[in-house]
Amino acid sequence: PTCTDGVKNQDETGVDCGGAICSKICLPQQGCHTFADEFNQDGKIDMSKWEFGVGGDGWGNEEKQYYTSSRLKNARCENGQLIIEAHKENYEDNQFTSAKLISKQAFLYGRLQGKDAKEGTVMAEGNGEGGNLTQLSSPAGMIVDYLGQIYVADCGNDRIMRWCEGKSEGEIVIGGNGKGNEPNQLNQPKGLSFDDGGNLYVVDLGNNRIVKFEIIL
């Protein structure tokens, strides 16, 4: 068919666009609502909107997880939210499982918008600034491991803290021995990253170095 709308110079025109399907035209500066999923149904993903990317090894990226298909353990809807959950388990010759979702609708450009959150959840501390195991001081970086444990670069206390679900306080996994440049010290840590082997890398800003630590989970 022939579509009777076109876009030229940021405005509607009479330019005809040929194609298999006529679709709505919207201006870049205005935007239009073309795709949405509120995840309102509990349980399975709406397969009219999504498809699963299934496979292991990360399609050549040497990832250790296997992306499963239609497995509620790895991907599901709960209370209006999309849950994608990784698990440590042997599956199809891989050490972990997870899920990869691909929208069935393609986009050349656009903007994503999430739901407005009514309130947040404090995941680590919130007990004022300080150096106790229930406090932080100028936290400057965060990462989550495959077990769901939260690691925080506690910059003001020159340490890396870890929080496990259900615990009332954190634990010091790196530093906590005062500001310094010894192997067991940090100076204003600001960034965190894991490698595939589970080693934790710390941006030790005050010492102008990157430090690698083997973490015991």
Residue-level pLDDT at 40? 87
Distance between CA atoms of residues 149 and 192, nearest Å: 13
CA 73 → CA 87, 97, 101, 147, 183, distances in Å? 8, 9, 14, 14, 40
Sign of the CA dihedral running 141, 170, 124, 165: positive
Contact 96, 65 (CB under 8 A): yes
What tokens appear for 175 in the block?
């530093």
Phi, psi dihedral angles at 59 (to 5 degrees): 55, 50
Which range among 61-75, 118-132, 201-215 has the greatest average pLDDT? 201-215
Q: What is the pLDDT of residues 86-141, one digit of tens each?
A: 898 999 988 899 999 988 877 666 666 676 666 666 666 667 788 888 888 999 98
- DSSP tag of 169: S
Q: Is the pLDDT of residue 202 over 50?
A: yes
Q: Which of 212, 201, 205, 203 is nearest to 187 (CA)?
A: 205
Domains of the chain by start residue, with CATH: 1-32 (no CATH), 50-103 (no CATH), 139-214 (2.40.10.500)
Residue pointed to by tokens 């090894």? 57
pLDDT digits (tens, 9 = 90+) for 16-45: 444 444 455 554 445 566 678 888 889 999
3-state secondary structure of 200: strand
